[in-house]
Amino acid sequence: MPPKSTGPRSLSQSLRDFDSLDVSREGISQRWYQDLYHRWVRASWPMFFTGFGAVFICLNLAFACLYALDPGGLVQAGEGPDSSAFLKCFFFSVHTVATVGYGNIYPNSIYVNCVVIVEIALGILVFALTSGMVFARFSIPRARIMFSDVAVVRSFEGYPTLMFRAANQRNNFIVEAGVRLSILRSQPDGPRIMRRFFDLTLLRATTPVFALTWLVMHRIDAQSPLYGLTQADFDAQDDELIVLMTGMDSSLSQTVMARHGYGPGRVLWDHEFVDVLREDGHGRRWIDYSRFHDVVPTGIA
């Protein structure tokens, strides 16, 4: 199993498990209200609904305070439990902003009617923005592509070859799929250290239809940045492999993207993947995802 990192997240780890870099920033004015739309779209669903609930409660509490400034501005009609003055203002605010209008509490002054107009206008705006963000979150195309936990290096056609595999977890097609593989390497430049990307040439970088599994391969020849490296060299240099896969989802007719990364401890020399494809007696293909990440030393599989 690959080692679990206990320090700051690397780029490859951020690509695998997170949607942001583990980098502290300074020198940039980043106020809470800047880029709110992007933050809410990226937030998790529990955080999104928690934020919406907090905004809803605070909005109604604020308007309840405004209604409470006029003690006789609200009248509760009919029979039923008579709530306290502030609760009556709060419940009336909820009825107003949600356009429910049960009718048992109604405004009875010019001041309260003016506040009602402001709250209705603000409520329409808040719910419109919230509906737009919910739609945006649902409409973002997401690829369900599984990448192997580790990459391997083994001999293939007489050359050491870097390999990792990917699988489409949906029962549909990703057409015109393409994959790009780069290595992120730190190199000295005088007294400084530069982090540079180097593209790795793949034996097959595109496929017309990606439906089952895809074994992505890079031949380690004299032109490869990995040429001459061993397992210990790769881990010691803190090199990171960055994977980006794109394609057109045949069900949505939209471009989908997936990314992954392999850092130290996640590229294994002299290993190979266990076969996960099989056919039953009726000619039907099966993929055993329970063994998708399994590797064995070369010559054992």
Please report the pLDDT score of residue 141 as a whole number: 78
Architecture of domain 142-297: Sandwich (2.60)
Please report the pLDDT score of residue 63 as a whole number: 93
Please report the pLDDT score of residue 13 as a whole number: 61
C-alpha dihedral (155, 161, 162, 165), degrees to nearest 10:
-80
Q: What is the pLDDT of residues 31-56, one digit of tens each?
A: 666 677 788 887 888 998 999 999 99
Please report the pLDDT score of residue 11 as a whole number: 63
Q: What is the pLDDT of residues 255-273, one digit of tens each?
A: 889 889 898 888 999 999 9
CA distances from 151 to 147, 204, 222, 266, 292 (A): 9, 16, 20, 6, 12
Q: Which residues of the chain have pLDDT under 50?
A: 301
State how far the Cα of 232 lies from the Cα of 244, in Å rounded to an integer. Answer: 26
State the DSSP code for 289.
G
State how far the Cα of 295 lies from the Cα of 265, in Å rounded to an integer. Answer: 14
Please report the pLDDT score of residue 239 as a whole number: 85
Q: Where are the alpha helices (DSSP H) in the chain?
A: 11-17, 36-42, 45-68, 85-97, 110-139, 231-237
Please report the pLDDT score of residue 219 as a whole number: 94
Ranges for all domains in the chain classified under CATH 2.60.40.1400: 142-297
Please report the pLDDT score of residue 238 as a whole number: 82
Please report the pLDDT score of residue 284 as a whole number: 80
Ranges for all domains in the chain classified under CATH 1.10.287.70: 36-139
State the DSSP code for 300.
T
Please report the pLDDT score of residue 101 as a whole number: 72
Pick from 209, 212, 186, 154: nearest CA to 264: 186
Choosing among 3.40.50.720, 1.10.3720.10, 3.20.10.10, 1.10.287.70, the CATH entry for 36-139 is: 1.10.287.70
Please report the pLDDT score of residue 299 as a whole number: 65
